[in-house]
Amino acid sequence: MAAITQARAEHPDYKIVATGHSLGGALASLAAGVLRSQGVTVDLYTYGAPKVGLEGVSKYLSRTDMGLNFRVTHKNDPVPKLPPALLGYRHISPEYYVTSGNEVAVTAG
């Protein structure tokens, strides 16, 4: 937190962005949640990330008053289906779901 506080003081016009792929996306989501809980605005970009928590965590991270969310998934990727919804885990919103290859526009899910 000290490094982020110092960087924000030195570069007040910069944005903070958390990003990651697969497990890294889950870690980026949790990091964004911690920073947002401490009053830091963080934009979040994840690619093929698993679910990171129950409904309360999902709702908190899905709020956009402390940063934007971009959760990108692909229809053939099994990782975003984990852990199972049956256990109560939920994704953050919105989702940008890729249904085919390159050159195809994505849409919010």
22 part of the active site: yes
Establish if 98 belongs to a structural domain: yes
User: Backbone phi, then psi, for 12, in 5-degree steps?
Assistant: -65, -20
Is a pLDDT exceeding 60 seen at residue 109? no
Is a pLDDT exceeding 60 seen at residue 71? yes
Task: From the candidates 22, 58, 62, 93, give the one annotated as an active-site residue.
Answer: 22
Can you read off the two tokens belonging to residue 52?
Answer: 């990171």
- pLDDT tens, position by position, 6-61: 999 999 999 999 999 999 999 999 999 999 999 999 999 999 999 999 999 999 99
Give the domain CATH number at 59.
Answer: 3.40.50.1820
Residue type at position 10:
E
- pLDDT tens, position by position, 82-98: 999 999 999 999 998 88
The domain total for the chain is 1
Establish if 76 belongs to a structural domain: yes
77 part of the active site: yes
Look-up: residue for tokens 């605005």? Answer: 41
Establish if 2 belongs to a structural domain: no
Instruction: Name the residue range of residue 36's domain.
Output: 13-108
Task: From the candidates 43, 58, 62, 77, give the one annotated as an active-site residue.
Answer: 77
Position 107 scores a pLDDT of: 62
Establish if 44 belongs to a structural domain: yes
Position 104 scores a pLDDT of: 66
Cβ neighbours for 67, distance < 8 A, ≥ 6 positions apart = 16, 32, 36, 41, 42, 43, 44
From residue 79, give the alpha-carbon distance in Å to each of 24, 41, 43.
12, 27, 22
